Amino acid sequence: MDSPHQAGDHISYDMLTRAPHYLLTSHFTSIRPCAPVRGSHRHISAPTLFCLDGRGWERNDDAYYEFDGLDLLVVPPYTIHQHGGFDDVGAEIYVPETGRIHHIMGLVWREQHKLSEKPTFPDGTEPLYEGEELIGYRIKRGVLGIEEDIDVMLGAEPQREAAFKGRREAGSSTGEPHDTYERYVQLMHDEADYCREVDHVVRGADRPWEHTRHGKLRWYVHPRTETASKQKWIYLQEIASGSRSGRHRHIAEELILVVRGMGYDVHDGQRWDWKEGELICIPTMTEHQHFVTGDEDALLLSATPSHYTFLGLGGIEQFEDAPEFEPEVHGG
């Protein structure tokens, strides 16, 4: 079961409607033990799924992956994928998203390739059959304000399929490019090879904790990480009870899930209280700091769009170090 998007839908019309964010939103997915196998779909965006609890699996084109609690599952662009749990345990998954940038770029499309084992059709929708074969579903006029019925057919859209099939089947490039244009020809081959070969799971147990000026961080995705998608920079932060993070500012907006603990933030001098299960929404160009007031250590999962970095607007301006940071021990 998927939750509604917490900070507005992942289309650009919903920016700034439920949070002070232009790009970021998120949703939660719950996979129960012994649940029917979910359907499979494909989209151009490359989502990252953080397993909060339990364990599960994913089929991605011809590959199979398993993931555990505190692992990050990364789905490469335009791959058919399907998620599931096991008979003895389910999974709780959090999905931070930057889908609005794909909407602006005309890349927000989604294809449904297979429905779940026991599909249900909510009010305003109905199944479509060809003989006895289920071939899609219809969204009726009036649902979500649409003015005409929309038929969603199972399978690939021909133009998108042709474009990405060409990338997948192009094979590896050979030789060194002899001019600038040829470097861009090679880029298509290199990107396809990379996404095909790189691991799709960033395992939390394999990621080191770093003692930084901002506090204790475990990075899942950063500019030098080898993952199938770099559309967001993602890290987990642990802050001791009664302590605080560093104080800093960056151009990019930031979305933080409170995985554990309670406390408050200060954003440009204004206090915002938070507790487990809530989202901290940090607007662009905002000076901010986290404070923990509960009896247990806090665990915060941060996601920041990488697109700002590609525009030459990356980096962090540090104002105050975390109290546990010792330059002579931790560097800096």
| Domain containing residue 228: CATH number | 2.60.120.10
Decide if 12 is inside a domain: no
pLDDT 10s digits, 52-69: 999 999 998 888 999 999
Decide if 229 is inside a domain: yes
Residues 6+ positions from 195 with CB-CB distance below 8 Å: 76, 77, 79, 228
Decide if 308 is inside a domain: yes
Per the listing, tokens 């970095």 go with: 309
Decide if 291 is inside a domain: yes
Q: What is the mean pLDDT of the chain?
A: 90
Residue 161 has pLDDT above 70, yes or no: yes
Domain total in the chain: 1
Q: Where are the alpha helices (DSSP H) in 97-179?
A: 99-104, 158-169
Decide if 45 is inside a domain: no
Quick count: other Cβ atoms within 10 Å of Cβ 43? 21
pTM score, whole prediction: 0.90
Decide if 102 is inside a domain: no
Tokens found for residue 286: 């905002």
pLDDT 10s digits, 89-144: 999 999 999 988 888 888 888 888 888 877 888 888 999 999 988 888 898 988 76
Decide if 307 is inside a domain: yes
Decide if 243 is inside a domain: yes
Q: What is the mean pLDDT of residues 6-10?
A: 76
Give residue 270's domain range. Answer: 207-330
Write the Ramachandran bin of 97: left for phi over 0, alpha for psi from -120 to 50, otherwise beta: beta
Residue 148 has pLDDT above 60, yes or no: yes
The residues with which 270 forms a beta bridge, in sequence order, are 267
pLDDT of residue 322: 98
